[in-house]
Amino acid sequence: MTTDDPPPIRRLSEWDAARLRDLADEHGTPLYVIDQGRVRENVANLEQAFHAEAISYAVKANTVRTTLETVADTGLDAECASAGEVKRAVEAGFEAVRYTAVNPPAADLDHVVSLSDAVEDLDLVITIGAADTLAALEERGYDGPLAIRVNPGVGAGHHAKVTTGDAPKFGVPFDRVPDLASDVLDRGFDLVGLHAHAGSGIHDEDDLQAHRELVARMGELARDLDHDLDFLNVGGGLGVPYRPDEAPLNLDRVASATREAAGDLDATLGIEPGRYVVADAGVLLTTVNTVKPTPETTVVGVDAGMTTLLRPAMYDAYHEIRSLAPDADDREATAATVAGPICETADVLGRDRPLPAPERGDVLAIGNAGAYGYEMASNYNSRPRPAVVSLDGSESELAVERETLSDLTRLEIEQ
C-alpha cells in the first residue's frame, strides 16, 4: 500500500469533534452524518483488492440518495433486494442493476418487470431463488436475463439472524440448481449467472473459511453446468471492525482467497459488498438528556434509541461511543450505560462504556453507523425518524429532513 492509498478503516476517534458538534448544533439530534469522501475511499480499497472482479453495491446497507449517487458515480453496479431499492438505484443513476428477489411480493415483480421495458439502456438482471418466481416472471411476460440464487448450505456472519447461506429461506437448494437451470433454458430465458451469499458481517477466520467453502462450491457448480454463464456472484458481507481493538480485514488476502477458491472460470467472478462501503463513513450524533446514577451503573439517557439505531437491540451489536464534549479529556472516566427514550429494556446503545463523566447537553458520537443505521430506523413509540447530513470535503448539506410529529399521522385517514 502506498502512502496515497486510503486507510483500511476509519476509526471513530478520527472524526473531527468540533465539526460534529457544529453539525449537531445546526441540525439538531439525533442526526446521522455520512461522509461521501470516505465512501469513495472504501470503494477505492475494494477496487484495488478485487481489481479483476465485478463489484456491485448492496443497496440495502444505505439508500440515502446522496450516498447512492456517490456510489453510482464510482462505476459500481447495484444489487437490490426489493422493488423500492431498484427504484432508488435507477433514480440515483446506476446503469446496471441486479434484483435479487427473496420471496418477492407480486407488486415488487410488477414494478421491476415494468422497469425492464420503461427505462432505456437499463442493464437489469433478475435473480430468482425459487422455481415459483420463474413461473411468476413468465406470467408477467418478462423475457430479460435471469440468474439463480443458490443455497450452498454454507453460512457465515456476525449473528445467526444474518447468516443466509445455509438458511432455507434463501436460494435454491444446491442439488436442485442443475434441474432449475435446464427449466430456465427450456422456457426460453437467458440464464446469465449464479449467485450465493454466506451472510453479513464476515470478519473472523471462521467466517472467512466459510466464505471460501461457499465460493469453492459455487465455482464447482458453475463448471458443472452445461451452460456458459456471464457471471458467478459470491455475495458480499465483508465485515468491518466495530470495536476499536479489532483489526480491519486484509482485503488483498480475502480477494486472493476468493479467486483461489473459485478456481478456473469462464464467467466473471463478482462480489456485492454493502457494509464495507458505508459503515465507517457514517456516525450517529445524539444528545444526553438524563444522567442517572444507580447502584449498578450510571444510566446516560440520550435522544437516540433503538428506533434510531436498531443493531444493538436486534443483534447485540457493539458500536463504539465517544463523547464530543470540548473538555472531555479533562473529565474523569465513568462506566456508563447509554440508553434511549424507548419503552423497552432492549433500548440500550452501549453497556458499561468508559465515558468522560457525562453531563446533560453533551453530544455523543456513535461509530460505524453508516450501514444499517438510518435504513433500519422506525417510528416505534411514535418517534419521528432522524435527519441525515451528507459531508463532502469541507461542504455539508441536509440529505434527509427530520420527520416531525405531524409526519407520523400524515398517511392516516380520519374517520
Instruction: State yes or no: 237 annotated in a binding site.
Output: yes
Q: Which long-range contacts (CB under 8 A, 24 or more apart) does 113-121 make?
A: 113/137, 113/140, 113/141, 113/142, 115/86, 115/87, 115/90, 116/142, 116/144, 119/90, 121/95
| Contact between residue 384 and residue 353 where contact means Cβ atoms under 8 Å apart | no
Please name which of 357, 360, 314, 316 lies closest in space to residue 334, comparing C-alpha atoms: 357
Please name which of 4, 10, 3, 21 lies closest in space to residue 328, comparing C-alpha atoms: 21
Give 15's contacts (C-beta < 8 A, 6+ positions apart).
Answer: 283, 322, 365, 367
CB-side neighbour CA atoms (13 Å) of 305: 22
Instruction: State yes or no: 235 annotated in a binding site.
Output: no
| Contact between residue 299 and residue 339 where contact means Cβ atoms under 8 Å apart | yes
Instruction: State yes or no: 91 annotated in a binding site.
Output: no
Task: Name the strand (E) or helix (H) holding 215.
Answer: helix 205-224
**Orientation angle between helical segments 131-139 and 106-118, nearest 10 degrees:** 50
Alpha-carbon torsion 113, 115, 120, 121, what sign? negative
Instruction: State yes or no: 32 annotated in a binding site.
Output: no
Instruction: State yes or no: 344 annotated in a binding site.
Output: yes
Instruction: State yes or no: 165 annotated in a binding site.
Output: no
N residues, the chain = 415
Instruction: State yes or no: 274 annotated in a binding site.
Output: yes
Instruction: State yes or no: 276 annotated in a binding site.
Output: no
The set of cell numbers assigned to 379 is 417510528
Question: Is the bond into 295 cis (omega within 30 degrees of 0)?
Answer: no
Question: Is residue 343 flagged as an active site residue?
Answer: yes
| Contact between residue 150 and residue 196 where contact means Cβ atoms under 8 Å apart | yes
Annotated catalytic residue, options 18, 52, 343, 413? 343
In this structure, how many other beta carbons lie within 10 angstroms of the beta carbon of residue 365? Answer: 24
Q: How far is CA 251 from the centre of its chain?
A: 18
* Catalytic residue list: 343
Task: Specify binding-site residues for pyridoxal 5'-phosphate.
Answer: 237, 272-275, 372
Task: Specify binding-site residues for substrate.
Answer: 275, 311, 315, 344, 372
